[in-house]
């Protein structure tokens, strides 16, 4: 069977896929959420549940900006992988 499927490689691809392919969109979405709270557009009810009610504009911007920065860094990392393989 191992001639046909290398389960370790499949697991590696799946784990990387989940971490970067689903994780980064999550970070990006979280960044958008925080930024939109930072502009004071969201309702208080929804916010307090998420713990953002007391977040100030500035702090929200920093956190949101950091989230987006993580995503940009990951894309740069992706380009690095593309250019340095083989």
Partner 1 sequence: MTATIILVLVVATALAFDFTNGFHDTGNAMATSIATGALRPKVAVALSAVLNLVGAFLSLAVAAAIAKDLIDQGTLTAAAGDKGLTLIFCGLVGGITWNLLTWLLGLPSSSSHALIGGIVGAVLAGVGTSGVLWTGVASKVVIPALMAPFIAGGVAALGTWLIFKVTGGVREGNRKEGFRWGQVASASLVSLAHGTNDAQKTMGVITLALVVSGSLAAGATTPDWVIFSCALAIALGTYLGGWRIIRTLGKGLVEIEPAQGMAAESSSAAVILASSHFGLSLSTTHVATGSILGTGVGKKGAQVRWGIAGRMVIAWILTLPAAGLVGAITYAVAAGIGGFAGTLVVFAIMVGLAGYMWVRSRRAPIGHDNVNDEWEGALEPAASVPAAV
Write out the binding residues for partner 1, residues 20-79 only, by CB under 8 A.
20-22, 24-26, 28-30, 32-33, 35-36, 39, 41-43, 46-47, 50, 71, 75, 78-79
The single residue listed with the structure tokens 């987006």 is 68
Residues 34/67, Cβ–Cβ less than 8 Å: yes
Number of H helices, E strands in the chain: 4, 0
Query: Which residues are near partner 1 by CB under 8 A?
Result: 3-6, 9-10, 12-14, 16-22, 24-26, 28-30, 32-33, 35-36, 39, 41-43, 46-47, 50, 71, 75, 78-79, 81-86
């Amino acid at each position: 069977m191992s001639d046909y499927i290398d389960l370790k490689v499949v697991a590696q691809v799946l784990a990387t896929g989940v971490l970067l392919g689903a994780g980064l969109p999550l970070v990006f979405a979280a960044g958008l959420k925080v930024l939109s709270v930072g502009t004071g557009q969201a309702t208080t009810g929804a916010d307090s549940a998420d713990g953002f009610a007391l977040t100030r504009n500035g702090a929200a911007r920093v956190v949101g900006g950091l989230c987006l920065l993580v995503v940009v860094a990951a894309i740069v990392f992706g380009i690095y992988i593309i250019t340095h393989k083989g």
